[in-house]
Structure 1
Amino acid sequence: MAQRDADCLFCKIVAGEIPADIVTKDDEIVAFRDINPQAPTHVLVIPREHFPTAAAAGSADRGLMDAIARVAGEVARIDGVADDGYRLVFNTGPAAGQEVFHVHGHVLGGRSLTWPPG
């Protein structure tokens, strides 16, 4: 049985207690559209099991970060941004802007994401 945090917003989405616009899912991962998109494609890719940060998920040595990257590629193909390019971003910790402490990768695409902008 996967670990779950009863107070975690993303755990509630995984459990079906809170609705989300699901893009794809499998036995390990759920991918859903961000409610405040920062690009035409902005999908959150999360493991079903609760880990508060990317570092915690990576330390678990279960291949979860690999699974997130695999599903992020699938999301990019589904949304038609794989060929032009997309960004996969993990905000880890409050100083990096992490707001929900359940590891999640942001798949961003559909517009230029070069840095610096312009």
Structure 2
Amino acid sequence: MSDEGTIFDKIISKEIPADVIYEDDFVLGFKDINPQAPVHVLFIPKVRISTHNDINTDNVDYVAKMHLAINDYVKEIGEAENGYRVVMNCNENGQQTVYHIHMHLLAGRMMNWPPG
């Protein structure tokens, strides 16, 4: 991994702008630049955890706080009862493109299954 970090590190440090919809001390949520649903928000921990495989007892609190942030946000926008999808990709076959874990929140339409 480059010492420069990922694009998400640069968004966290405000080097790159993002349409931020949620922020606390542990989690940042911002609109996806290529939305796949009327609501498509990425939630990331403010520490770099490269893949799902790298979640451990030292950083699992960040992952829990990501879930809580999503719960708060879907209630705030009125999608909690309608339903939504939360997705985390892992490594190449899982289509992970940024090696800083992130949860995709997709809402605002009926989700299809299987997804891909």
TM-score of the pair, normalised by structure 1: 0.87
Matches within 5 A, 1:23-42: 23-42=21-40
Between the two proteins, the alignment pairs up a number of residues equal to: 113
Deviation at 1:21, TM superposition (A): 0.3
RMSD: 1.6
The aligned residue for residue 8 of structure 1 is 6
The answer for unaligned runs of 5 or more in structure 2 is none
Say which of 25, 35, 41 aligns to 1:43. Answer: 41
Contact 1:21–1:33 (Cα < 8 Å) also in 2: yes
Contact 1:58–1:65 (Cα < 8 Å) also in 2: no
Give CA deviations for 1:36-66 in whole Å, capped at 9, x if unaligned. Answer: 0000010000000011112213453441211
Deviation at 1:75, TM superposition (A): 2.1
In 1, distance between residues paired with 2:36 and 2:69?
19
Contact 1:58–1:64 (Cα < 8 Å) also in 2: no
Per the alignment, do residues 101 and 116 of structure 1 end up closer, same or farther by CA in structure 2, a change over 3 Å counting? closer
Aligned-residue sequence identity (percent) comes to: 38
SS, match of residue 93 in structure 2: helix
In 2, distance between residues paired with 1:55 and 1:7?
19
The answer for unaligned runs of 5 or more in structure 1 is none
Per the alignment, do residues 58 and 80 of structure 1 end up closer, same or farther by CA in structure 2, a change over 3 Å counting? farther
Deviation at 1:78, TM superposition (A): 2.8
In 1, distance between residues paired with 2:41 and 2:9?
16
The aligned residue for residue 103 of structure 2 is 105
Matches within 5 A, 1:26-105: 26-58=24-56, 60-105=58-103
Amino acid at match of 1:60: D
Amino acid at match of 2:83: G
In 2, distance between residues paired with 1:58 and 1:32?
25
